[in-house]
A = this chain, B = another copy of it.
Amino acid sequence: MTDEGKKSLAMVVMSGDFDKLAGAFIIANGAAAMGMDVTMFFTFWGLRALKKNVGSGKTFFGKMIGLMYGGGIEKSHPSKFAFGGIGRWMFKKMMANHGVQSLAEMRDLAVQLGVNMYGCQMSMDVMEIPRESFIDGVKEPVGVGFFLLKAQDADIQLFI
């Protein structure tokens, strides 16, 4: 629990996969909506989730790929999208048919709900992702020690 007696959640987000990021934000936003104090520590592939949308794709999916993997590798896709294209099709269909928020919308909501989003300083260094590439609303870069202190006192910890 936090100082204010709130229940709290601390998660590492290492994955940059579409599905994992959606899961991370759905859990984080759900927790924040319930009044929990939420910390998301983005590292490695997960850092792409914090970047401004620099995708050049015109479709929704093209933009999401740009969001996740930067402008240079729009043609890549998460491993689970490789089932003869059925994964990609499934996501497009699910977005269109069921009114689920896009990743960018989930991320906006996280900012609005006061979810604390941090980039891992070491990962930012090694992947050469400057803080300036992040959207507004991301906190200052921190190290693994910061995450561990948050996680020690959190009621829920997850590695995604």
Contacts and interface: CB of A to CB of B under 8 A. Distances in A.
Interface string A1-35: 00000010101101000011001001100110110
A79 to B, nearest CB: 5
Interface of A: 7, 9, 11-12, 14, 19-20, 23, 26-27, 30-31, 33-34, 36, 43-45, 69, 73, 75-76, 79-80, 82-84, 86, 90, 94, 97-98, 100, 122, 125-127, 143-145, 147-149, 151-160
23 contacts: A12-B158, A14-B20, A19-B44, A23-B44, A23-B159, A27-B147, A27-B148, A30-B143, A34-B145, A69-B83, A73-B83, A75-B84, A76-B84, A79-B82, A97-B126, A98-B125, A98-B126, A100-B126, A151-B155, A152-B156, A153-B155, A156-B157, A158-B159
